Amino acid sequence: MRAPVKAHIGTVADTRVIGPITQTDIVRFAGAGGDFNPLHHDPEFVANIRGPWMVIAMGQMQADPGRLASDTFGVEHVRSFGSRSACRPVRDTLTVGGTITAITDTDGETRADLDLVVSGSKRDRLSPVRQRSSSPGA
Amino acid sequence: MTEPLSVGELDRVDYDIERGKIREFVRATFTTDPAHTDRDAAQAAGFADAPRPHPRRRRFATSATSKLVDTLGLALERVVVGSVKWTYLRTLIAGDHVVGTRRIVDDVQREGKRGGSMRIVTLETEYVDTDGDPVVRLEEVLIERGEQR
């Protein structure tokens, strides 16, 4: 096991910009995760449902750029993860950033609460995605 | 109205953690830690084999959607996933085999803020390894909006 990374309250220096998300990225994610809802890859299907929709990336696809937490702190140090997602349209560019909001002692470990926010660049009615995850500080 | 359900199992999935699938998943999710894909990096990090990125999506049994409808009587077109919370008890590595059993742990009706009633169903999946030790837990909250009048 790698040594835990030292964590401090405040903004995490590591940020990430992903995209523009292409249809290929979405299809690759669909194949890796097994999400074959046609809403995510079939423009003809999307055109036939009500409303001014376009092909959208999976909600969880934005959770996954949140891999920032495990890439920064080590997968073996991430203890929990929760998310609420909004859908982002294709060609959107995502920015991932994190802030450590609390450091607490739980079950004999020191854990940090990391508030991750994934934001899109496209102006539309969709709201940013907020995520929470915990990992040990030291 | 559907009768509230008693506590019970909903479905079960089992799968192998595979090195090739880890690689595919890491690429699809823009994950950068080389431990997932490079054996030397994995060993240097203290893993016997490639660590699996922690799951954040549940893998459904093929019958899961119809079971949700049949067992819970949910109208899927009115269902949204309210929240999900994963708890990781250990890092899975290539070669692991896990079995996840999903149970209904809560099923309540609540009045919505803008009138109409909502049904809130909480599901918990516990994944165990071949030793029977829990490795991952998932709590999902599904919200079924009331019918439009």
Give the tens place of pLDDT for each residue, B127-143: 999 999 999 999 988 88
What are A136's strand-pairing partners?
A111
ipTM exceeding the 0.90 mark: no
- Give per-residue pLDDT as tens, A64-73: 555 788 888 8
Residue A7 in tokens: 């964590």
Residue in A28, A78, A82 closest to B54 by CB: A78
For residue A56, the tally of other CB atoms under 10 A from its CB is 20
The answer to whether B130 and B101 are in contact (CB under 8 A) is no
Once rounded to an integer, what is the mean pLDDT over residues A99-107?
91
Mark yes or no for CB contact B53/A70 under 8 Å: yes
The answer to whether B80 and B118 are in contact (CB under 8 A) is no
Q: Give the model's confidence band at B7: pLDDT under 50 very low, under 70 low, under 90 confident, else very high.
A: low
Query: Does B83 touch chain A if contact means CB atoms closer than 8 Å?
Result: yes
CA-nearest residue to A34 within chain B is: B59
End-to-end CA distance of chain B: give it in Å, rounded. 15
- Give per-residue pLDDT as tens, B14-41: 889 999 999 999 998 889 999 999 999 9
- Residues of A with Cβ-Cβ distance to B83 under 8 angstroms: 82-84
Mark yes or no for CB contact A33/B54 under 8 Å: no
User: Which of A56-60, A132-136, B68-72 has the least mean pLDDT?
Assistant: A132-136
The pLDDT, as a whole number, for residue B26 is: 92
CA distances from B125 to A134, B56, B140 (A): 20, 12, 8
Does B58 have pLDDT greater than 70? no
- Residues of B with Cβ-Cβ distance to A67 under 8 angstroms: 29-33, 53
Q: How far is CA A92 from the centre of its chain?
A: 14
Q: Collapsing DSSP states into helix, strand and coil, what is residue A43? A: helix
Does A87 have pLDDT greater than 60? no
The answer to whether B132 and B52 are in contact (CB under 8 A) is no
- Window B:9-68, CB contacts with A under 8 Å: 21, 24-25, 27-33, 35-36, 45-47, 51, 53-54, 56-57, 59-60
Does A24 have pLDDT greater than 50? yes
Mark yes or no for CB contact A75/B57 under 8 Å: no
The share of chain B scoring above pLDDT 70, in percent, equals: 84
Mark yes or no for CB contact B46/A1 under 8 Å: yes
Mark yes or no for CB contact B85/A70 under 8 Å: no
- Residues of A with Cβ-Cβ distance to B29 under 8 angstroms: 29, 32, 61, 64-65, 67
**What is the residue-averaged pLDDT of chain B?**
84
Mark yes or no for CB contact B45/A76 under 8 Å: yes
Handedness of CA B130, B136, B137, B138 (dihedral sign): negative
- Give per-residue pLDDT as tens, B102-131: 888 899 998 877 777 889 989 899 999 999
How would you class B77 by CB atoms within 10 Å of its CB: exposed for 0-12, middle for 13-18, buried for 19 or more?
A: exposed
Once rounded to an integer, what is the mean pLDDT over residues B49-69?
72
The pLDDT, as a whole number, for residue A127 is: 40
Residue B122 in tokens: 């909480």
Mark yes or no for CB contact B29/A71 under 8 Å: no
The residue behind tokens 């539309």 is A124
Does B94 have pLDDT greater than 90? yes
* CA atoms in the 13 A half-sphere facing the CB of A106: 12
Q: Give the model's confidence band at A53: pLDDT under 50 very low, under 70 low, under 90 confident, else very high.
A: low
How would you class A95 by CB atoms within 10 Å of its CB: exposed for 0-12, middle for 13-18, buried for 19 or more?
A: middle
What is the per-residue burial (b if ≥16 Cβ within 10 Å, else e) of B6-19?
A: eeeebbebeeebeb
CA-nearest residue to B46 within chain A is: A1
- Residues of B with Cβ-Cβ distance to A111 under 8 angstroms: none
